[in-house]
Chains A and B, each alone.
Chain A
Amino acid sequence: NAGVTQTPKFQVLKTGQSMTLQCAQDMNHEYMSWYRQDPGMGLRLIHYSVGAGITDQGEVPNGYNVSRSTTEDFPLRLLSAAPSQTSVYFCATISPGKTNSPLHFGNGTRLTVT
């Protein structure tokens, strides 16, 4: 039982390049989300999904796309990377059936855009 797995752990991109951050979970959690962590800003919600085929925007969605074709996977796509997207990205899930269950986080992807 791996929990929430994020790949890659580190990535360096040039401005304008595209890439996909992967998030996979084996806990059968319906809710999945992406946060970014920046110094002095805490964690901010980018996009989230309450189940396969359903996604919605969070606090800072611009420049990011998501899709949810399966319960297990929730990839985050950067179509044209910008230096402002340099950050640490966390995927998080919530276990179903219990009100106010806490988020389970992956170990993060550190992205640098030059």
Chain B
Amino acid sequence: DQQVKQNSPSLSVQEGRISILNCDYTNSMFDYFLWYKKYPAEGPTFLISISSIKDKNEDGRFTVFLNKSAKHLSLHIVPSQPGDSAVYFCAANNPGRRALTFGSGTRLQVQP
């Protein structure tokens, strides 16, 4: 039973355009959401986060939107750059467990 789902295994966009990565969750107890970026042969690195009491958080080219009623969050990257090509993981924090639940990841390829 996957509590955090990333239904798109891969996404390809042109350089300069917007990339939108989606994530759905089922557990209403999650109180904090994070996005991680992973390059091959490296560990995931933190990208951006959002608290469940907010609906938007922006950091440079990266914006995360949270729709609590739909249990859906999305990561927008604009403009997309070839260096953004990586696997992106959505993660959610369960306050009672001191642990993150990760989605299965979306591989983003930005074409020059």
Instruction: Give residues in A with beta carbon < 8 Å to B.
Output: 4, 31, 33, 35, 40-45, 48, 50, 58-59, 90, 92, 100, 102-108
**What is the number of contacts between chain A and chain B, taking CB atoms within 8 Å?**
55
B81 at the interface (CB under 8 A from A): no
Q: Which 5 pairs from chain A and chain B are nearest by CB?
A: A105-B43, A102-B46, A42-B102, A43-B102, A42-B104
Distance to closest chain B CB from A42 (angstroms): 4
Q: Is A106 a contact partner of B43 (Cβ separation < 8 A)?
A: yes
Q: Which residues of B contact A4 (CB under 8 A)?
A: 43
CB distance from A10 to the nearest CB of B (A): 10
A42-B43 contact, Cβ under 8 Å, with A33-B99, A50-B98, A102-B34: no
The answer, yes or no, to whether B59 is at the interface (CB within 8 Å) is no
Q: Distance in Å from the Cβ of A20 to the closest Cβ of chain B?
A: 19
Asked whether B41 lies within 8 Å of A45 as measured between CB atoms, the reply is no
Contact digits for B55-70, partner A, Cβ 8 Å, 1 yes 0 no = 0000000000000000
Chain B residues whose C-beta falls within 8 Å of the C-beta of A43 in the assembled complex = 44, 89, 91, 100, 102
Identity of the chain A residue whose Cβ is nearest the Cβ of B42 in the assembled complex: A107
A21 to B19, CA, bound (A): 37
Report B101 CB to chain A, min CB distance, Å: 8
